[in-house]
Amino acid sequence: MHSRRNFIGTVATGLAGTLAPSVLGANERVRIGIIGAGDRGMQILREAAACPGTQVVALCDIYNNRLETAGKEFPKAQRYYDHRLMLENPAIDAILVATPQHLHAEHFVACMEAGKHCYQEKTMAFTVEHAKRMRLAYQGAHGKLTVQIGHQACSSGHVTDAAQFLASGRVGKVTAIHAHMFRNTPHGKPQWARPVSPDMTPESILWPSFLGSASPHAFDANRYVNWRFFWDYSGGNVYENMCHQVAFWYKVMNLQIPKSVNMTGGIYLWKDGREVPDTMAVAMQQPEEILFSWDSGFGNNELGVTEDVLGTDGTISRSQQIRYEPQKVNLKDVPESVGTAPTAPRAHMQDFLESIRRNKATNCPFELGFKVSIACRMAVESYLQGRTVHWDSTREEII
């Protein structure tokens, strides 16, 4: 096992802090690094590596074991414990950020300041203050850097189908969007729970780097590996899954930050030390006069993952398939329609890479990620404060 000193000692130094984006390699090759080589990070890194014209050149993680494992899969990539040192490497064009949610702002801002294009996993920002800080960094790049937020459905064929259904005029005035996200697991296997490995020790994990700006806490391997359980690092299932369903319809319908949000629920099932709820209901009052509701739970999967856009003249229903059904009370002779637009493999990652090469907007740009982040934070704040919260659009604050 390599020590942290050995890893840091192998880092190539370069000029840090420049806002100029890296020059692409030969044949428009995009050279990629990753911050956060855990399960999700490795998934998106493999997607990037499978896209034409890419090269994985750098890996960064604060846990020795994960860095070793990632290095075996990508042996030619340099390894780092400190993302700041990695970002000094001029041979990196783009960074994938797949760290716990409370660290997103720190890593995203560092990428922008280092002049690196960024694929930022969801939910983009942990708090309103983080979102604003990320926006300043993004604006400071003066449009020279490409940003993709990891809401993959924004690159799916469903976007095209939903837009066509709405453009047809056969949906009518939409007054409600009702979304579900339900899962179940075998008895004794709580959702998200991960085992603590014996090698998760202060010697193998850079605990201060994990904490970031979160509240100080003594080393706790359970908090590290099961960070999704704790409000210090996670927004619970709102940040894990509601964000995806909200992002899709915010994109398709160009919806804005909610006027108000209410969230209720609790830890009704898994009494395993988690702080975030396993059963919840969110109601968002949109300024477009639409009530966007989202229900979720981890104790039954019958309702699955669905969204229904409810209009006076028709309904758009989305799950694995997307379809339109007319409201016969208003459109008697209009037939049902089923979406047909395909989704290419690795579509979201491929869009990020092509956007870098062509200097075009991504399918899930920063501005969309910003709005979704605020909506999600409003839901969490409502739950924590036990009341309905509101958005002050002038001061950009939750009140």
Q: CATH code at 191?
A: 3.30.360.10
Is there a single domain that holds both residue 93 and residue 167?
no
**Which contacts qualify for 5-9: CB closer than 8 Å, 24 or more apart?**
7/67, 7/79, 7/80, 7/81, 8/80, 8/81, 8/82, 8/85
Residue where a domain terminates, one of 110, 133, 153: 153
Percent of the chain having pLDDT more than 90? 93
The predicted pLDDT at position 13 comes to 30
Q: What value does the mean pLDDT take over residues 168-175?
A: 98
Is there a single domain that holds both residue 75 and residue 108?
yes
* 135 is a domain residue: yes
Q: What value does the mean pLDDT take over residues 304-328?
A: 98
* 351 is a domain residue: no
pLDDT at 9 over 80: no
* 129 is a domain residue: yes
Is there a single domain that holds both residue 138 and residue 189?
no
Output the DSSP codes for 165-202.
HHHTT-S-SEEEEEEEEE----TT--TT--PPPTT-ST
Residue where a domain terminates, one of 106, 129, 153: 153
Give the containing element (helix H, strand E) for 294: strand 290-297
Residue where a domain terminates, one of 153, 187, 208: 153
* 184 is a domain residue: yes
pTM, entire model: 0.93
* 334 is a domain residue: yes
Confidence of residue 273 (pLDDT cuts 50, 70, 90): very high
Domain count, the chain: 2
Is there a single domain that holds both residue 171 and residue 308?
yes
Is there a single domain that holds both residue 206 and residue 268?
yes
Is there a single domain that holds both residue 64 and residue 100?
yes
pLDDT at 317 over 70: yes
pLDDT at 6 over 90: no
Is there a single domain that holds both residue 225 and residue 327?
yes
pLDDT at 46 over 80: yes
Is there a single domain that holds both residue 313 and residue 210?
yes
Identity of the residue numbered 293? S
Query: Which tens digits make up the pLDDT trace of 354-386?
Result: 999 999 999 999 999 999 999 999 999 999 999
Is there a single domain that holds both residue 69 and residue 138?
yes
Task: Tell me if 377 sits within 8 A of 263, measured CB to CB.
Answer: no
Residues sharing a CB contact under 8 Å with residue 67, sequence separation 6 or more, in sequence order = 7, 37, 59, 60, 61, 79, 81
Confidence of residue 28 (pLDDT cuts 50, 70, 90): confident
Is there a single domain that holds both residue 337 and residue 227?
yes
* 69 is a domain residue: yes
Domain containing residue 28? 4-153
Query: Which tens digits make up the pLDDT trace of 106-134?
Result: 999 999 999 999 999 999 999 999 999 99
| Residue 181 to residue 183: CA distance in whole angstroms | 7
Is there a single domain that holds both residue 177 and residue 242?
yes
- Pair of tokens at residue 60: 């960064």
Q: CATH code at 120?
A: 3.40.50.720
Task: Tell me if 57 sits within 8 A of 32, measured CB to CB.
Answer: yes
Is there a single domain that holds both residue 286 and residue 386?
yes
